[in-house]
Structure 1
Amino acid sequence: MGGLLGLQVADLPLQLGEWLVGNFDPDMMALKLCNGSYMSITTQDVARVLGLPNGPLPISERDGPHVSPELRAWREEIKHRKGKITVKALVTQMLELKGGGEWFRRHLSVVVVSTLIASVSNGYANQKTVHMFRDVDRITDLDWCGYLLRSLVVAHGHWTQDRTRKFMGPLLFLILLYADRVVVGGRDVPRSIPTLNGWTTELLKAREAREITAQGFGQGMLDDPPHPTDFHAPSVEASLTGQPIRLNTEPGTLQPGPTLGTPQGFAQLFESKTGDLVLVATQVADMVRQNPNQAYGDHNFKRLPRHPIF
């Protein structure tokens, strides 16, 4: 999930988001555009957009109130008997793990679920999949992409029943997929795998404003999905687990970062990226501890992904 380190989106364009959810067809697994065409949505789209692993092991959610040994251990680790911890508080605890390690990776996985896949309306971390992260070495073998699409269908069903309630599904994925595949006038950022690289809060909101002042959403040209051969990349997996691959503005030219497609290469890259993340997290945590009042009042401290409310 190293591609998520390139995420620069803190707030989402809500009007565009609401239109996308309203035009999502769960039976067709597609977005309906204004010209009558449909944009299909697949697990490969999830992998290309967010860089999430598309492994063979399905992700299951816990049954109701059942507390597995893994969930109990996680609750003890975060020191919340019932696991009622906000995502921000969980991130703070995660940043205190200066050496990284297994709990850092478990906490990170919970944060990914809670912010990008299946949020909880009360702002707490989603505990439904904690049992899946027992073996941290198998986290990248999980079917994150299939789980995201199932969560999309479930969240859409809940929202359709009552459109005054929050949409708790993977809205960032829908927005980024649409922004990449539906071209309005020209491309705002060069295409890359994963798509999230290059997009920012400001760029997405500017895209929303441009479509609002034009003819409305869904009026652009539907482009084909980016394909690894377009980048002359060795494989989808290599690009998703390595550095982002970008196209120049000139067709056929390539600006690849280093890609490592072998298991050994992935392990090296993941270790490097995790080490970078831990280093930065440690520095940020130290700054917060030394100047808590300034930190909590700073807008950058608040730039954790927040789920929108329609």
Structure 2
Amino acid sequence: MEGMMEAMESVVTAKNSKTNPTKKMTTAKKVRDTPVLEKRKNRQQIFKEAHCEEKFYQTVTWTLRWKTLRKEIKARAIRTSRQHVQEEVQNSQRWREDSKPKKNVKRKLIISADGDSQMTADTALPKQDAIAVKKTKKVKHDRVETRSGKHAKTTHKWPKLKTRSSPMQLFKCIKPLTRNQQEDVNRMGFGKMLSFNISGIPLKIAHYVVDHFNPEEMAIEMPCGSIDVDVESVHDLLGIPKKGIDMQNVRTYSKLDVAVEAWRKRYRKRFVAPTNLARSILTSDEANSFHFRLDFLMLFLTVMVECNKNGRMKEWILKTFTGDTDFSKINWCAYLIQQIKSCKDGWKSCDPESPFSGPLTLLALLYVDRVKCTGFPVDRTIYPIVFWNKYELKKRERFEIKRGGFGGEDLHEVGVVRRDPRKTELHANDEVLSNEIALIEKHLDVMEAKRVTVEKKLEVVFNAHPDNEQVKKLIQRFEKIVY
């Protein structure tokens, strides 16, 4: 019954909808009557909502991907760091095992009556039953002998020295000095330094010399003998004054003198570097000779005697000077010897963080001048600061290393050789001439290369414009310059 009633109701509603179409008409009319702008707005809003949903989905996916990627990167970094640590531990263990001195195992070769041979330990065999063949294995270690007799393990057999007292700046500013400036240097008592020819010291031979220098005994102690570092040796090498006022007896003022203070105000920085002193010398005004003389003196003391650990100038000596100080009447050799006694304070051998700031050039010159080197020609009649230069010192270093090391031969006797000033001057002039010839050859090479390029360009321009007057003038000018 209920089913029949539901069927009857559905039939009645269908009839009513056919007979009364007003309901559908009203809805269609509403849609027709709505303005066009509202329709567009509805569409745009739908599109916006869809776009926002898509963008949100993209951002979510990208954030998830980025999180996973970051996790992978972190995990990879942790894995690589662990592997690196493990490798370092393994390498350190291998290095310890390799650095331990291995025992030389002696074994004996037993030859029996049947002709068979067998290797056995030395302790297990009686002497009368075997023929012993000794075999030894040598374990090589790169060791450096220090002055105290201890051995320090290093990666290189001949370590290099880290220094703050390179002679480069002094070498640069000596060559371009004017005649008036050279006369000032002569009046100061530093005339021989005008022939200074050393722009650098090889670092291996420098380390050997500094390492074997004993400041308590004031000598370079080596297996072949010891070289005394005294006033006479310093004067023989550098030619600076060895007589006059001792700096220990000079009064030290509490403040700088007026002239010295005016000189110091030219450098605005707290510490003055050798490069600043050299630049000031090269650009100095010849009207004020005191500034030039003090510049030269402080550069000499910074490079050749001592400097701070950062390579800058030591300024305590400025309080002993005045505007009327005569630098030629001071015993500079004795002052240098006095300062050498503390040059190795704080310096550690084979430590790259411990630079040497003492008189490196002086010690190296003493070594190459006094130690014999068979097969390497050295003219000792010429002053060492003129004969030796960076390239000759490098040759000497390589030569001695090939022959087994430094300090292996005997020493020259003191006072046997006599320096020849005339020969020294000729040698210095020959070297200056060779340097000038090399410079002119470089300029000629550049000119030749430019000549070829200009000639080709003129040929191209002349072929394109044979009747042009400017081109003809250029060709005539080129011919005058070249031919």
TM range (shorter): 0.5 to 0.7
Q: Distance in 2 between matches of 1:193 and 1:139?
A: 26
Which of the numbers 407, 416, 421 marks the counterpart of 1:245? Answer: 421
Aligned to 1:72: 261
User: What is the TM-score of this pair, normalised by structure 1?
Assistant: 0.66
How far did 1:169 drift?
A: 0.5
Equivalent AA in structure 2 for residue 96 of structure 1: T
**SS, match of residue 38 in structure 1:** strand
Larger radius of gyration: 2
User: What is the TM-score of this pair, normalised by structure 2?
Assistant: 0.44
Aligned to 1:12: 201
Aligned to 1:51: 239
How far did 1:98 drift?
A: 3.8
Q: Distance in 1 between matches of 2:254 and 2:414?
A: 40
Aligned to 1:111: 299
Q: Distance in 1 between matches of 2:390 and 2:331?
A: 28
How far did 1:20 drift?
A: 0.9
How far did 1:143 drift?
A: 1.8
Aligned to 2:277: 90
Q: Is residue 383–residue 424 contact of structure 2 (8 Å, CA) maintained in 1?
A: no
Alpha-carbon RMSD? 3.1
- Per-residue CA deviations over 1:29-53 (Å, capped at 9, x if unaligned) read 1111223x22212111011111221
Stretch deviating more after TM superposition (158-167 or 179-188) = 158-167
User: Structure 2 matches for 1:269-280, cutoff 5 A?
Assistant: none
How far did 1:66 drift?
A: 5.5
Change in CA separation of 1:157 and 1:256 when aligned onto 2, cut-off 3 Å: closer
Q: Is residue 255–residue 319 contact of structure 2 (8 Å, CA) maintained in 1?
A: no
Aligned to 2:174: none
Which of the numbers 311, 316, 328 marks the counterpart of 1:140? Answer: 328
Q: Which runs of 5+ in 2 are unaligned?
A: 1-189, 427-483
**SS, match of residue 356 in structure 2:** coil
Equivalent AA in structure 1 for residue 230 of structure 2: T
- Per-residue CA deviations over 1:86-143 (Å, capped at 9, x if unaligned) read 2111221222224161110011000001111102232322322223443566212212
Q: Do structure 1's residue 126 and structure 2's residue 314 form an aligned pair?
A: yes
Q: Do structure 1's residue 176 and structure 2's residue 391 form an aligned pair?
A: no
Q: Distance in 2 between matches of 1:67 and 1:222?
A: 47
Aligned to 2:338: 150
How far did 1:63 drift?
A: 11
**SS, match of residue 32 in structure 1:** strand
Q: Which runs of 5+ in 1 are unaligned?
A: 232-243, 247-254, 259-310
Q: Is residue 17–residue 175 contact of structure 1 (8 Å, CA) maintained in 2?
A: yes
Equivalent AA in structure 2 for residue 200 of structure 1: N
- Per-residue CA deviations over 1:68-92 (Å, capped at 9, x if unaligned) read 336533312x24264x222111221
Equivalent AA in structure 2 for residue 245 of structure 1: P
- Per-residue CA deviations over 1:166-195 (Å, capped at 9, x if unaligned) read 111001000011101101115544224642
Count of residue correspondences: 234
Q: Do structure 1's residue 197 and structure 2's residue 383 form an aligned pair?
A: no
**SS, match of residue 196 in structure 1:** helix
Q: Distance in 2 between matches of 1:63 and 1:162?
A: 39
Q: Distance in 1 between matches of 2:350 and 2:245?
A: 33
Change in CA separation of 1:256 and 1:123 when aligned onto 2, cut-off 3 Å: closer
Equivalent AA in structure 2 for residue 15 of structure 1: K
Aligned to 2:398: 209
Aligned to 2:412: 223
Change in CA separation of 1:64 and 1:158 when aligned onto 2, cut-off 3 Å: farther
**SS, match of residue 157 in structure 1:** coil
**SS, match of residue 148 in structure 1:** helix
Q: Is residue 90–residue 125 contact of structure 1 (8 Å, CA) maintained in 2?
A: no
Change in CA separation of 1:62 and 1:128 when aligned onto 2, cut-off 3 Å: farther
Q: Is residue 202–residue 394 contact of structure 2 (8 Å, CA) maintained in 1?
A: yes
The structure with more helix, counted as a fraction of residues: 2
Q: Do structure 1's residue 39 and structure 2's residue 263 form an aligned pair?
A: no
* Moved segments of 4+, more than 6 Å: 61-65
Aligned to 2:88: none
**SS, match of residue 384 in structure 2:** coil
Aligned to 1:185: 374
Work out the percentage of aligned pairs sharing the same amino acid.
24
Equivalent AA in structure 1 for residue 369 of structure 2: D
Highest relative contact order (Cα 8 Å, sep 6+), 1 or 2?
A: 1
